[in-house]
């Protein structure tokens, strides 16, 4: 039996809600912890009052079961923006809007795009996503985020700590705001939470991202959030979801945004790495030892690691390599393999991408490994030798400089096909 007792009734009710634009938003305050005062609001979706789909969990469960998550997500964003505009929200407060992973990709509908343009001209807008969005639809997500930043939006990574994959994926999203899962303030300290926090703190220091602690329900939670380096907070102690009442005189300014210009790169790993590091020349056996060492380094990073490799052609993905990458995919956050003739999933858990002849990466042999505290990129370009395979020569470069490694990884992950 379905989780929904009466799927056809739920379908009819959901249809009525979507057709009648009956989704409504309630708004939970986001408060400054160092300089107390409302700095923004998170829009939370609700169904019509008194309906069986009023609760958000039931509303989204129905939409997922009936294949209408995208339509519901668009309706929720429209309600959030319309409600904030009607309430008279101004530039002194930031509006946080959630986006479902399935809804990322493709251009915004004209009505929603117009609303977003109207909103961003009146107040800052931050789009909240989870790590699930990147692991499911990496290329589409990076393209969508680039478009949203062009439209003036900031990006927040939500529920960091609930899934450790979010640590590995932070560099690709470059969030303006990192939202710490409520476990950080509500649970007892642990080595696991400390390890996650160290990774988050390192990313915030590198990029200037703001930390926001969720689930604050007591003064003790406030003190814990401050100790973790959070400057923003959200929770029942600070304000419950309700009607949007813009602060007359906000004590703090809205959540700062890091700015645009953080879209997916349109270049290749070799072009990026060779521009930053000396280029050397070597034969395949030498390069093979270097690339394998990086691949095995990834095994020590665990669930925080992202591994992306190019193989020129699918034939270079040997059975031994496929077995190794399948094992790697079981213990890391994300593993990608790209090349001519590479399928969407060349090995269990490995995300694949076909490289076409006109793609500059087609001539490259790249291995990029990123963890919370480790980054390395090996990038080589084939010189076109036609002799024995072991005698093939490549120009290559190697870097451990994090920004260059992240740029190289983004150039590859933006080519990964959706599941």
pLDDT tens-digit readout, 374-399: 999 999 999 999 889 889 999 999 99
Percent of the chain exceeding pLDDT 70 equals: 89
- Rounded distance between C-alpha atoms, residue 128 and residue 155, angstroms: 6
- Rounded distance between C-alpha atoms, residue 307 and residue 25, angstroms: 39
- Rounded distance between C-alpha atoms, residue 42 and residue 375, angstroms: 34
Residue 246: the pLDDT is: 82
Residue 27: the pLDDT is: 97
pTM equals 0.82
Residue 16 pLDDT exceeds 70: yes
pLDDT tens-digit readout, 285-333: 999 999 999 999 999 987 878 999 999 999 999 999 999 999 999 998 8
Give the three-state DSSP class for 196. helix
Residue 256: the pLDDT is: 60
Residue 261: the pLDDT is: 41
Residue 144 pLDDT exceeds 90: no
- Rounded distance between C-alpha atoms, residue 339 and residue 362, angstroms: 7
Q: Which of 70-74, 167-171, 380-384, 413-417 has the least mean pLDDT?
A: 167-171
- Rounded distance between C-alpha atoms, residue 398 and residue 274, angstroms: 8
Give the three-state DSSP class for 45. strand
**pLDDT grade for 1, boundaries at 50, 70 and 90:** very low
**pLDDT grade for 260, boundaries at 50, 70 and 90:** very low
Residue 290: the pLDDT is: 92
Q: H/E element holding 223?
A: helix 219-227
- Cα 390 to chain centroid distance, Å, stands at 40
Residue 112 pLDDT exceeds 50: yes
Contact between 25 and 46 (Cβ < 8 Å): yes
Handedness of CA 145, 209, 303, 312 (dihedral sign): positive
CA distances from 268 to 82, 186, 319, 355 (A): 41, 43, 27, 12
Domain chopping of the chain, boundaries? 7-233, 269-413
Q: Would you give the DSSP letter of residue 180?
A: E
Residue 8 pLDDT exceeds 70: no
Average pLDDT over residues 20-47: 93
CATH node for 7-233:
3.20.20.450
pLDDT tens-digit readout, 219-246: 999 999 999 999 999 999 999 999 998 8
> Strand pairing of 94-98 and 24-32?
unpaired
Residue 118 pLDDT exceeds 70: yes
- Cα 341 to chain centroid distance, Å, stands at 28
Residue 11 pLDDT exceeds 90: no
- Rounded distance between C-alpha atoms, residue 331 and residue 344, angstroms: 20
**pLDDT grade for 402, boundaries at 50, 70 and 90:** very high
Calculate the average pLDDT of the chain: 88
Average pLDDT over residues 154-158: 92
**pLDDT grade for 94, boundaries at 50, 70 and 90:** very high
Percent of the chain exceeding pLDDT 90 equals: 64
- Rounded distance between C-alpha atoms, residue 149 and residue 370, angstroms: 24
Q: Which of 3-7, 75-79, 187-191 has the least mean pLDDT?
A: 3-7
Residue 257: the pLDDT is: 62
Give the three-state DSSP class for 264. coil
- Rounded distance between C-alpha atoms, residue 26 and residue 398, angstroms: 50
Class of domain 269-413: alpha beta
């Amino acid at each position: 039996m379905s989780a929904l007792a009466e799927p056809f009734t739920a379908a009819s009710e959901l249809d009525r809600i979507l057709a009648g634009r009956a989704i409504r938003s309630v708004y939970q305050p986001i408060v400054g912890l160092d300089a107390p005062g409302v700095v923004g609001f998170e829009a939370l979706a609700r169904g019509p009052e008194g309906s069986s789909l009023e609760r958000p969990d039931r509303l989204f469960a129905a939409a997922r079961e009936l294949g209408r998550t995208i339509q519901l997500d668009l309706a929720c964003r429209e309600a959030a923006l319309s409600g904030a505009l009607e309430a008279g929200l101004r530039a002194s407060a930031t509006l946080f809007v959630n986006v479902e992973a399935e809804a990322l990709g493709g251009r915004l509908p004209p009505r929603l795009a117009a609303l977003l343009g109207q909103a961003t001209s009146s107040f800052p807008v931050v789009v909240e996503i989870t790590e699930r969005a990147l692991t499911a639809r990496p290329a589409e997500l990076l393209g969508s985020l680039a478009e949203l930043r062009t439209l003036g939006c900031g990006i927040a990574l939500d529920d960091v700590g609930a899934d450790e994959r979010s640590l590995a994926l932070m560099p690709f999203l470059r969030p303006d705001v990192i939202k710490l899962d409520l476990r950080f303030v509500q649970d007892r300290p642990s080595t696991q939470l400390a390890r996650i926090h160290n990774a988050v703190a390192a990313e915030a220091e590198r990029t200037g991202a703001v930390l926001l602690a969720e689930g604050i329900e007591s003064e003790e939670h406030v003190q814990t959030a401050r100790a973790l380096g959070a400057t923003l907070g959200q929770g029942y102690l600070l304000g419950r979801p309700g009607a949007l009442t813009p602060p007359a005189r906000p004590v703090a300014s809205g959540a700062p945004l890091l700015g645009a210009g953080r879209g997916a790169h349109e270049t290749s790993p070799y072009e990026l790495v060779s521009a930053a590091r000396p280029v050397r020349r070597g034969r395949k056996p030498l390069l093979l030892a270097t690339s394998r060492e990086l691949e095995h380094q990834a095994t020590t990073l665990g669930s925080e690691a992202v591994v992306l490799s190019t193989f020129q052609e699918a034939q270079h993905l040997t059975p031994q390599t496929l077995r190794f990458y399948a094992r790697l995919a079981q213990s890391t956050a994300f593993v990608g393999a790209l090349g001519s003739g590479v399928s969407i999933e060349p090995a269990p858990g490995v995300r694949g991408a076909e490289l076409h002849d006109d793609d500059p990466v087609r001539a490259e042999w790249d291995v990029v490994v990123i963890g919370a505290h480790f980054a390395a990129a090996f990038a080589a370009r084939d010189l076109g030798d036609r002799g024995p395979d072991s005698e093939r020569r490549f120009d290559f470069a190697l870097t451990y400089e994090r920004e260059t490694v992240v740029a190289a990884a983004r150039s590859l992950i933006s080519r990964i096909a959706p599941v």
